Amino acid sequence: MIPDPERVAQIIRETAARELVPKFITLTSEEIGEKSPGDFVTAVDLAMEAALAKALVQVLPGSLVVGEEAVHDDRGVLAVLEGDAPVWVIDPLDGTGNFAQGLPIVAVIVALVIKGETVAGWIYDPLSDRMAIATHGAGAFLGDRRLKVARPGEDRSLNGSIYGRFVRLSEPYRRIWGKGRGRLGNVFNARCVGQEYLARLKGRMHFGVYTRMKPWDHAAGILMHQEAGGIARMGDGTPYRPAEGGHVCLLTPDEDLWQTMHRELILPALKEEAQRTES
């Protein structure tokens, strides 16, 4: 039921070449809006999503689409992720804020979900023409190179991304990273999770903590991370499922670092948040 991954990759490339790349640095103010304060949407987001949705459904007749912009208009669309029909999950322009400011830190993310499980994913950097592809059980690839997540020899050489106000304001976060590069390395958020997933797949970043588990942001990337040998679980230790969202997800290159960060950061931060909620 999974279509040829290279055919899907070509659709993504061609759509981005037509709808996205020509607009980099040439967007006008009339083509940039906000769905909510700080949450940007551009004419490129809308054009990319419409074009990808049309083309991908043709590749897999009977499939449905969950697109970021469509969900903004109707959250009921998310219900199809647990249905029987295959579902394309599309982030047409990840890093919209960066794109609107002329920063080349963007990605196009596509996942294929069948009966609630991610079976394939594509993350594309349209400005450098780099495409990562993963299918369940077959590994993750960048071109012909099979990808493998890595951990540096020293923990202070780790690099990662950490999102979520309750995590970054927690005492363990301040203790470990409050003065910059801490005992577990350095934290850097790119405002583009697609690029962060690519960086982890290439060994340039190593861990990630995410608290807004939108399927268009994470379904493809988590599959790739796992297919490249990494560990990705929710804060309660359960597997990530695109339809369920969840409060916090931790990604690391190995089980040892996952257990360390879960014990020293995630659990204490969750406990602090629960205490604030109760008070």
91/105 Cα distance (integer angstroms): 14
158-217 per-position pLDDT tens digit: 999 999 999 999 999 999 998 889 999 999 999 999 999 999 999 999 999 999 999 999
266 to each of 45, 150, 227, 246, 263, how far by Cα in Å? 33, 21, 24, 14, 6
Q: Are 51 and 10 contained in the same domain?
A: yes
Q: Are 63 and 164 contained in the same domain?
A: no
- Greatest C-alpha distance within the chain: 54
Query: Which residues pair with residue 140 across a beta bridge?
Result: 134
Residue finishing a domain among 146, 165, 183:
146
Q: Is 55 left (phi over 0), alpha (psi -120 to 50) or beta?
A: alpha
Q: Are 137 and 262 contained in the same domain?
A: no
Q: Are 265 and 183 contained in the same domain?
A: yes
Its pTM stands at: 0.95
Q: Are 134 and 28 contained in the same domain?
A: yes
Burial 215-227 (b: 16+ CB within 10 A, else e): bbbbbbbbbbbbb
Q: Are 47 and 141 contained in the same domain?
A: yes
Instruction: Please give the residue range of the domain that contains residue 136.
Output: 5-146
Task: Note whether 86 and 77 are within 8 A (CB).
Answer: no
Other C-beta atoms closer than 10 Å to the C-beta of 203 total 16
Q: Would you place residue 227 in the very low, low, confident or very high pLDDT band (cuts 50, 70, 90)?
A: very high
Q: Are 194 and 134 contained in the same domain?
A: no
Q: Are 116 and 205 contained in the same domain?
A: no
Q: Among 161, 139, 153, which residue's Cα sits nearest to residue 228?
A: 139
203 to each of 85, 200, 208, 229, how far by Cα in Å? 35, 5, 13, 12
32-84 per-position pLDDT tens digit: 877 766 677 899 999 999 999 999 999 999 999 999 888 876 778 888 998 99
Residue finishing a domain among 122, 146, 170:
146
CATH number at residue 61: 3.30.540.10
6-36 per-position pLDDT tens digit: 999 999 999 999 999 999 998 888 888 777 6
Task: Note whether 157 and 204 are within 8 A (CB).
Answer: no
Q: Are 40 and 97 contained in the same domain?
A: yes
Q: Are 72 and 47 contained in the same domain?
A: yes
Q: Are 166 and 44 contained in the same domain?
A: no
Q: Would you place residue 279 in the very low, low, confident or very high pLDDT band (cuts 50, 70, 90)?
A: low
47 to each of 41, 60, 111, how far by Cα in Å? 11, 20, 18
Task: Note whether 133 and 201 are within 8 A (CB).
Answer: no
CATH number at residue 210: 3.40.190.80
124 to each of 58, 76, 173, 264, how far by Cα in Å? 20, 27, 31, 33
Q: Among 248, 221, 276, 97, which residue's Cα sits nearest to residue 162?
A: 248
273/68 Cα distance (integer angstroms): 28
Residue finishing a domain among 146, 169, 190:
146
pLDDT recorded at residue 38: 66
pLDDT of 114 above 90: yes
Domain count, the chain: 2
Radius of gyration of the chain from its Cα atoms, rounded to whole angstroms: 18
45-59 per-position pLDDT tens digit: 999 999 999 999 999
Q: Are 142 and 88 contained in the same domain?
A: yes
